[in-house]
Amino acid sequence: MQTRILAIDENSLNLSKQIILHGGAVAFPTETVYGLGANAFDTNAVENVFKIKGRPNDNPLIVHVHKNYDISTLVSYVPEYSKKLAKAYLPGPLTMVYKSCGKVSGAVSCGLDTLAIRIPSHEGAQKFLKHVNLPIAAPSANISKHVSPVTAEHVFSDLNGRIEVILDGGKCEGGIESTVLDCTGDIPVILRSGLITREMIAKIAGECGEYVLKDGEKARSPGMKYKHYSPDCKTMLFNFDERDKAVEEYSKFNNDGISAYILCDNKTAKLINVEKILNLGETECEIASNLYFKLREGEKKAQLIIAIAPENQDGVMVGVMNRLTKACK
Ligand code: TXA
Ligand code: MG
């Protein structure tokens, strides 16, 4: 199968719709990362997405809908706090998990009785979702466990030959996946951190819990238990306080002929002043936005990525640290 990267226009949207209606999968941009979408009503189409990615079949998918889609047709109960959160933050990088009413294929949620729903804000995503006017089950458009894709070229390099069309919406601004929020209980609980932070949710909903997976416990969000976001090269991770040690390792490896790069934010870059650097930028939004982009750049040119964690680890940095830790396992 030949894979084409197409600009988002009338022709590519019509083609994408035909592919979706015939049970195929289309890669599309969102404000977080690229998704690989299929018709959520079509079990074969959804199962095919798991095959294309090599995704474990107990890790459920998020359903994406356009901003005027009536989600009460898909879920049985939407709590008041979710309605308030939707008003404040949607369309945007917040996925809410509800009790499903069983309309979409059981393959989407891998047999769970819940359904994760996301309304992305990216203009290209909205155009695609409006054009097909169906709930679209979409994981990130990477080979399972690899770094999530934030450009059409990243999708191409993972999925070339496995899908027909990648809709090109440029580089994703957000850069890390949406916050996943369990909305089935009395208070919302974060299952995966992202750009919509715990503080932002608590401000609107009054309270917000955070789910931490304990050793031996069954994951409430099955995606949490898997190795993830790993670049195709060796990695190491140091705390901000250990940055001198990181630089020592950097020098040692480069002197031994192993090309090592340091991945860190701009503040750290100024302090350590080394030559081979993957600079994530200054602000927390820049750092999130550049994380996967720089990990993918790094795996191309480095044999080893030595990451140094940012000093500040609050807010958006909770999500960044979650990905960085898993990437460097
Ligand atoms: O930003 C995003 O969320 C991107 C873009 C493409 O929208 N999508 C994404 O999908 O990151 P994926 O498949 O890579 O991650 C989905 C996460 C997993 O951690 C999964 O376990 C969780 O959402 N999830 C999906 N359905 C769930 C459910 N019913 N209950 C609990 N967790 C669920
Ligand atoms: Mg993913």
Alpha carbon of 287 to ligand 1 centroid (Å): 21
Q: Which atom of ligand 1 is nearest to the CA of 64?
A: 7
Model pLDDT, residue 292: 98
Mean pLDDT of the chain: 96
Tell me the ligand closest to 31's alpha carbon: 1
Average the pLDDT over 249-265 and give the result.
Answer: 98
User: Is the CB of residue 304 below 6 angstroms from any atom belonging to ligand 1?
Assistant: no
Average pLDDT of span 92-112: 97
**Ligand 1 atom 3: residue of nearest CA:** 178
**What average pLDDT does this structure show over 151-180?**
98
Q: How many CB atoms lie within 10 A of CB 102?
A: 13
pTM of the model: 0.96
The residue behind tokens 């979706």 is 20
Closest residue by Cα to residue 175 from 63, 64, 287? 287
pLDDT exceeds cutoff 70 at 279: yes
**Half-sphere exposure in the Cβ direction for 120 (13 Å, CA):** 33
User: What percentage of the chain carries pLDDT values higher than 90?
Assistant: 93
What's the CA gap between 322 and 142, in Å, rounded? 18
The Å distance, Cα 115 to ligand 1 centre, comes to 10
pLDDT for residue 217 = 66
Whether ligand 1 lies within 6 angstroms of the CB of 75 is answered as: no
pLDDT at 213 over 80: no
- Res. 64: pLDDT tops 80: yes
Maximal C-alpha separation, the chain? 61
Could you tell me the distance, in angstroms and rounded to a whole number, from the CA of residue 125 to the centre of ligand 2?
17
Which residue, by CA, sits nearest to atom 31 of ligand 1? Answer: 221
Stretch 80-108: mean pLDDT: 98
> Per-residue pLDDT for 215 more than 80?
no
Which of ligand 1's atoms lies nearest the C-alpha of 138? 6
Ligand 1 center to 23 CA (angstroms): 21
Spacing, Cα 140 to ligand 2 middle (Å): 4
Ligand 2 centroid from CA 235, angstroms: 19
| Cβ pair 93, 195 in contact under 8 A | yes
pLDDT, residue 226, reads 61
Task: Tell how far the Cα of 274 is from the centroid of ligand 1, in angstroms.
Answer: 37
Residue 219 — very low, low, confident or very high, per pLDDT cuts 50/70/90?
low
The DSSP result for 17-33, as a single string, is HHHHHTT--EEE--SSS
Residues 150, 34 contacting (CB under 8 angstroms): yes
Ligand 1 in reach of 142 Cβ (< 6 A): no
User: Measured from the CB, is residue 114 less than 6 Å from ligand 1?
Assistant: yes
pLDDT at 212: 79
How many helices (H) does the chain have, and how many strands (E)? 10, 16
Question: What percent of the chain has a predicted confidence (pLDDT) above 70?
Answer: 95
What atom of ligand 1 comes closest to residue 120's alpha carbon? 7
For residue 223, the ligand closest to its alpha carbon is 1
Phi, psi of 308 (to 5 degrees): -120, 125
Q: Is the CB of 118 under 6 A from ligand 1?
A: yes
From the CA of 112, give the closest atom in ligand 1: 29
Cβ(95) – ligand 1 distance below 6 Å: yes
